[in-house]
Amino acid sequence: MKKVIAMLLVAVLALTLVLSVSAESESWVDSDTGISYLQLLDCDTKPGGRSAYEVDVENAQEGDACLTFNVGSGQVNEMILEEAIDGEGYDTLEFDLYVSDVTLFDLFAVGGTNSGFEITSSGYCDNQELSWKLGEIRDCNEGGELAVGWNHIILPLDTAIPRSEDGHHPDVAGPFDITNINFMRFFMVGESVEHTITVKIDNICLTDRKAITAEAEKQAALKKSADKVIEKINELPEITAENYQDYKLKVASGRSLYDKLSEEGREYVPADLLKKLEAAEAAIAHYEANPPSEEQPDDQQPDGEKPDDDQQPDDGKGCKGMMSVGAVAMIVMALSLGVTVLNKKKG
């Protein structure tokens, strides 16, 4: 009996682990973007409901397969989920979409005004519904203009058209309930084209882009603050003895704005501009400590340098002036001696 109980416990534990892995595989976070994903349909097998879907195992974008169908005169494809999915906290519907002919796809987008994609919480179409028209799907391609081949469609839930009832199922009338998603439909109707269009769909998910949007807004604010610092520094000229007084306040303002930036914000300020700010501060500090003379003769030599002897002014006070006085004295003495000698001879 104990062995049986032990085996049952092991089986329950194993089943719990399997279910846990399965639950985790339905949702994930992209480590590169921070976007959370909740898969509504992997498109690896044909879903319940009326549809012309076929399983394509050669062109999967995720998992083992994708769903494909051909459109000529109109096609409505339902996708009934085996279990309702709680999508609370998610804000966007995304899926991979392949089209073989963009021009014909556009014809359905323009002419088939009711063509599009819908999700509901009623188990039926047109009740408790959010929907997007085909033109919106075309315009919400992540890469820009819809192209032949695979595209990635991103549809914010708050851009969808809500619908509460269509009259056929009044017992399920009411607003869309994101905690109970159980039905989807992709339809292209209202046109008849000469050639058929091949359409494939894969990896239908709800995503939470609020976190990535909040981060983008944060970085934009940081960059805006950094741009003010960059503008201040770019306005600064080379700091000289003549202009340092005029730019002291602007340099101080640039430093103050830079110091107020967070570490992330400072990353937006180029290194060469930061060096320019530091050089301006160093120049101002130098001139503050060694203010230039307000009255400085043009021919004044820098401190520590003396002119050569032959460049000394002969103003009577320098060496040349002293030599001139001595020479005059000697001449006077010589003349006096000469006069004395002449007087003695006469006598």
> How confident is the model over 43-72, as pLDDT tens digits?
999 999 999 999 999 999 999 999 999 998
Band of the pLDDT at 337, cuts 50, 70, 90? low
Band of the pLDDT at 108, cuts 50, 70, 90? confident
Residue 151 pairs in a beta bridge with 97
What b-and-e string marks burial along 317-343, b requiring 16 or more CB atoms within 10 Å of the CB? eeeeeeeeeeeeeeeeeeeeeeeeeee
Residues sharing a CB contact under 8 Å with residue 126, sequence separation 6 or more, in sequence order: 118, 120, 163, 165, 166, 168
pLDDT at 78: 96
Q: In this structure, what is the dihedral angle of CA atoms 290, 293, 297, 303, given to the nearest 10 degrees?
A: -20
Q: For 129-147, how does the pLDDT look when each residue is reduced to its tens digit (9 = 90+)?
A: 999 999 999 999 998 899 9
Task: Compute the average pLDDT of residues 161-180.
Answer: 93
Mean pLDDT, all residues of the chain: 81
Give CA–CA dist 56/67, Å, rounded: 6
Band of the pLDDT at 33, cuts 50, 70, 90? confident
Give, in order, the Cα–Cα distances in Å from 76 to each of 69, 203, 218, 341: 10, 19, 43, 147
* pLDDT of residue 307 exceeding 70: no
> What are the phi and psi torsion angles at 253 (to 5°)?
-65, -40
End-to-end Cα spacing for the chain = 169
CB 68 within 8 A of CB 58: no
Which tops the pLDDT comparison, 325 or 162? 162
Task: Compute the average pLDDT of residues 227-253.
Answer: 93
Residue 67 pairs in a beta bridge with 55, 201
pLDDT at 294: 58
* pLDDT of residue 6 exceeding 90: no
Give CA–CA dist 268/252, Å, rounded: 19
pLDDT at 10: 37
> What are the phi and psi torsion angles at 149 (to 5°)?
110, -155
pLDDT at 40: 97
Cβ-defined contacts of 227-230 (< 8 Å, 24+) = 227/268, 228/257, 229/254, 229/257, 229/258, 229/261, 229/269, 229/273, 230/268, 230/269, 230/270, 230/273
Task: Compute the average pLDDT of residues 248-265.
Answer: 93
* pLDDT of residue 295 exceeding 90: no
Task: Compute the average pLDDT of residues 90-95.
Answer: 96
Amino acid at 300: Q
Band of the pLDDT at 335, cuts 50, 70, 90? low
pLDDT at 113: 63
Residues sharing a CB contact under 8 Å with residue 281, sequence separation 6 or more, in sequence order: 251, 255
Tokens of 209: 């882009």
Lowest-pLDDT range of 60-64, 111-115, 318-322, 332-336: 318-322
Give CA–CA dist 200/53, Å, rounded: 9
Burial status of residue 131 (CB atoms within 10 A of its CB: 0-12, 13-18, 19 or more) = buried
Give, in order, the Cα–Cα distances in Å from 44 to each of 60, 66, 284: 8, 6, 70
